[in-house]
Structure 1
Amino acid sequence: MFFKRWFELEESVFFQRNLQFSRSYTKKLNGKLVGIGLYYSQWSIVYCLKQIGPVTLVEISNHFDVEKPTISRTVNRLAEQRLIEEVPSNDKRERVVQLTEKGLEVYEKAVLIVSEFEKSLIAGIPEADIDTAFRTIQLLKEKL
């Protein structure tokens, strides 16, 4: 009941706070990843490739719900850093990419940085509240 009344009074506060959190999270994480030469957007793609394996740029774009040109620019930067490489594809119109050995090494460093950062964020928050937050985020995502 409180949330419904609060939301009616402050219609966009929830979404503004979400945006502020997201931007602050990205900025702080960028500050931690810079030491290994990554930004959050690059880390997201490195993480995706480690979890899923070789994928097309369209698949990455769909996975993150981001326009393909944005993904292409980030992938090109990762390729310049020799963290990813193209792999042969049956369809010459598609770019398929995967992590290189160097990319796997950077992944191992980055996953420790991100994990430590996230643990520090949730430290002191009751597990039930974290579970509720995760469920709420998933429910909101499903509605989009």
Structure 2
Amino acid sequence: MEQSLFFQKNLQFSRSFTKRLNERLIEIGLYYSQWSIVYCLKQIGPVTLVEISNHLDVEKPTVSRTVKRLADQQLIEEVPSKDKRERMIQLTEKGMEVYKQAILIVRDFEKSLIEDIPQSDIDTAFRTIQLLKEKL
């Protein structure tokens, strides 16, 4: 397969995946970009914007805008940090409730995508994605 075709297919899949997941997450007032930060906060606890940016491999200004939207929805809050120059954030109680709803939506969505795909193909896809990520 021609490499540009591979990356074109990857781009198409990524955009379609995000669009379809957004259609489901909007039911609880989230978008994929917000979900990724909520998920990150749930997994690694209170963190700085720089840590989120590094963890998600997203530019800090993008993270800042999304964090502001999450704060406006009262899903996250700032917490005191040792370094006054850094903003540490964590999920609020409301954020935890939204996480619980969102994880069910995401799991159902992912399950619907892979339900008819043999496990060996899924394992191969995961290994391939990991190998490609390591090369970046």
Q: What's the TM-score bracket when you normalise by the shorter of the two chains?
A: over 0.9
Flag as ranges the 4+ runs of structure 1 deviating above 3 A. Answer: none
Q: Percent identity?
A: 79
Q: Secondary structure at the match of 1:12?
A: helix
Q: Secondary structure at the match of 1:86?
A: strand
User: How far apart, CA to CA, are the structure 2 residues paired with 1:67 and 1:122?
Assistant: 30
CA deviation string 1:25-56 (max 9, x = no partner): 00000000001000000000000000000000
1:135 paired residue among 117, 127, 132: 127
2:35 paired residue among 30, 43, 63: 43
CA deviation string 1:60-96 (max 9, x = no partner): 0001111100000000000000000000011111010
In structure 1, runs of 5+ residues without a counterpart are 1-5
What does residue 110 of structure 1 align with? 102
In structure 2, runs of 5+ residues without a counterpart are none
What does residue 54 of structure 2 align with? 62
Q: Secondary structure at the match of 2:3?
A: coil
Aligned residue pairs total 136
Amino acid in the other structure paired with 1:39: Y
Q: Secondary structure at the match of 1:82?
A: coil
Q: Secondary structure at the match of 2:81?
A: coil
What does residue 91 of structure 2 align with? 99
Amino acid in the other structure paired with 2:130: Q
Q: Secondary structure at the match of 1:94?
A: coil
What does residue 3 of structure 1 align with? none
Amino acid in the other structure paired with 1:21: F
Amino acid in the other structure paired with 1:135: R
**How big is the alpha-carbon RMSD for the aligned residues of Structure 1 and Structure 2?**
0.6
Q: Secondary structure at the match of 1:97?
A: strand
Aligned pairs for 1:68-87 within 5 A? 68-87=60-79
2:24 paired residue among 32, 57, 70: 32
Rg larger for: 1
